Structure 1
Amino acid sequence: MMSDEVNTLLLPYQLNYSLWQVMFVIREKGGCTSIEMAEYLNVSKPSIAKRVHALTALNVLIHVETEDKRQKKLILSPQGEDLFKQCSVEIDHFEKALISQFLPNDIQQSVSIFNRIIQTLECAKLGEDHAK
């Protein structure tokens, strides 16, 4: 349901939740390759390729060379940066409206629990990666 609401917010910008995820990851990481993005979002490389193609068609992404000539790093274009800022404001307002009914202490406790769950999952994944 959350992604449906975000899709509705992003529709006027010709975006959807999955395209927003790509923009968000690129912005958070200061740029990354498609492979890094697929791993981070835990989705297939062809899925990322489709999203990158759509965002490139919207002039939101720029491909830059890396040391490995087989891979290109993706960064947000100036237009992509502007679009990211506009959409961030909309999404932030939406999220604030959702949590406004909760007490600050309850929110902080929930954030703490989610962070511990993420840490547990990351440790489990590291253990799996080392076992391979």
Structure 2
Amino acid sequence: MNSQLGFRASLMRCARMFSDEVNTILLPYQLNYSLWQVMFVIQEKQGCTSIEIAEYLNVSKPSIAKRTRILAQLNVVSQVQTDDKRQKKLVLSAAGQKLYQQCAAEIGQFEQQLIQPFNPQEILKSTALLNEISAALETRTAGKKQ
């Protein structure tokens, strides 16, 4: 098998299976991986616009609008005014913060169970490699936008 094809297929399969497991964890909370990603970005950035979320996740703005609408209906996110009246900043509500912490703990526990059997140095190397690949893809994407 072509080693590049093997890497691509392995990466895609691993990502899919990981997101399926996260979906299982999130199901009792009326969430899924797509909604979780939005919550994650809002939490990491301590509030942001829909455009910033779409750029971070590299997905369309309409798909983020749909996700944020669902999260608002679940009382997970709320909007705050910004200096620019055309932009609304999204933040996790108090209930959203609590839900985020609970789900993050369960996902973190799953992740630790998953990687526990592996050598910590190998995990660090693998993480570094994935970060380098992500950076290369971001550079490539930025070059195409110019």
Q: What is the Cα deviation at residue 112 of structure 1?
A: 1.5
* Partner deviation per Cα, 1:37-91 (whole Å, 9 max, x = no partner): 1111111111111111110011111100111111100000111000000000000
Aligned to 1:121: 137
CA distance in 1, matches of 2:60, 2:131: 25
Residue 43 of structure 1, aligned match among 28, 39, 59: 59
Aligned to 1:92: 108
Matched, 1:17 2:39: no
Q: What is the Cα deviation at residue 24 of structure 1?
A: 0.2
Helix, strand or coil at the partner of 1:37 = helix
Q: What is the Cα deviation at residue 100 of structure 1?
A: 1.1
- Letter of the aligned partner of 1:11 in structure 2? L
The range that moved more, 71-80 or 115-124, is: 115-124
Give structure 1 stretches of 5+ with no counterpart: none
Give structure 2 stretches of 5+ with no counterpart: 1-16
- Letter of the aligned partner of 2:137 in structure 1? L
What is the identity percentage for the equivalent residue pairs of Structure 1 and Structure 2?
62
- Structure 1 residues 76 and 68: alpha-carbon distance in aligned structure 2, compared to 1, 3 A threshold: same
Aligned to 2:119: 103
Aligned residues: 130
Of structures 1 and 2, the one with the larger relative CO (CA 8 A, separation 6+) is 1
Moved over 4 A (4+): none
* Partner deviation per Cα, 1:97-116 (whole Å, 9 max, x = no partner): 11112111111111121122
CA distance in 2, matches of 1:29, 1:39: 13
Q: What is the Cα deviation at residue 119 of structure 1?
A: 2.2
